[in-house]
Amino acid sequence: MRNLKVMTAYRGTEYHGFQRQTNAVTVQEVLEKAVSKVLNEPVNITGCSRTDTGVHANNFCFNVKTESSIRTLGFCRGVNGELPDDISILSCEDVPLDFHARYDCKGKEYIYRMHCRESKDPFSSDLAFHYRRRFDVEKARAAAAHLVGTHDFASFCADCTNVSTTVRTIYSLEIENSGDSVIMLVKGNGFLYNMIRIIAGTLLDINEGKLAPEDMPEILAARDRLRAGRTAMAHGLYLNRVFYSEDELLGDI
């Protein structure tokens, strides 16, 4: 028996998230069909995270156990040959049998992309949120600074019923812009359901004057979803990196 650690990237536009569902096409379903065909055995893959409908991934990890002796390069080439153009295998390596893509994950990094201009960008309609206003990066940075560190993020969780704690640590939250493009880059030890999208939506509400940067501490303290801002659209969100060691997670902070 072997355990393969596989990195993949996907465009989430056509999928109802990563996790398999009975009534909708998901990334996991498509991957399992392709991997099963190449390994010539039925498989269940274990993903590092659940992503919502329309959310993308630059790097997403899954592991799969197999009796196959296929070489890792052959696995990559073979599975890529079976996948549609919006999903790609990036790498594959043998790991210990007890490696678990989800439970061994030490942290993740997400990107939220926005196109801030009155006119839409026809080349990124499903890859970045179209925001028809000027975005005040400095105001957003002032607000985001309050979220860095260890806090109770219940106010930024759409559904907290299935988690034992809503305390999370954000190691960095950077906001950059280039021309009409604005990128929010967030790294943390874990994230609650819709947490990144609610943070992004709250920054949009702050940009529009509905909230102020100095409101952030009170929003956190309230532990009330209604105190935070809107939930930003899913298609601007990307799982960017997944970390499996503390050194890797904290190395560039």
Closest alpha carbon to 27 in 86, 73, 78, 76: 86
The contacts of residue 165 (CB under 8 Å, 6+ apart) are none
Task: List Cα–Cα distances, 146 to 49, 165, 189, 196, 214, in angstroms.
Answer: 26, 20, 17, 15, 8
Tell me which residue has tokens 């952030």.
Answer: 216
- Structural contact between residues 153 and 198, judged by C-beta atoms closer than 8 angstroms: no
Nearest by Cα to 144 from 193, 108, 182, 106: 182
* Closest to 170 measured CA to CA, from 107, 78, 232, 95: 107
Our answer to whether residue 52 is catalytic in this structure is yes
Closest to 188 (Cα-Cα) out of 216, 220, 150: 150
Distance of CA 183 to the CA centre of its chain: 14
Token digits for 234? 């899913």
Active-site residues: which are they? Answer: 52
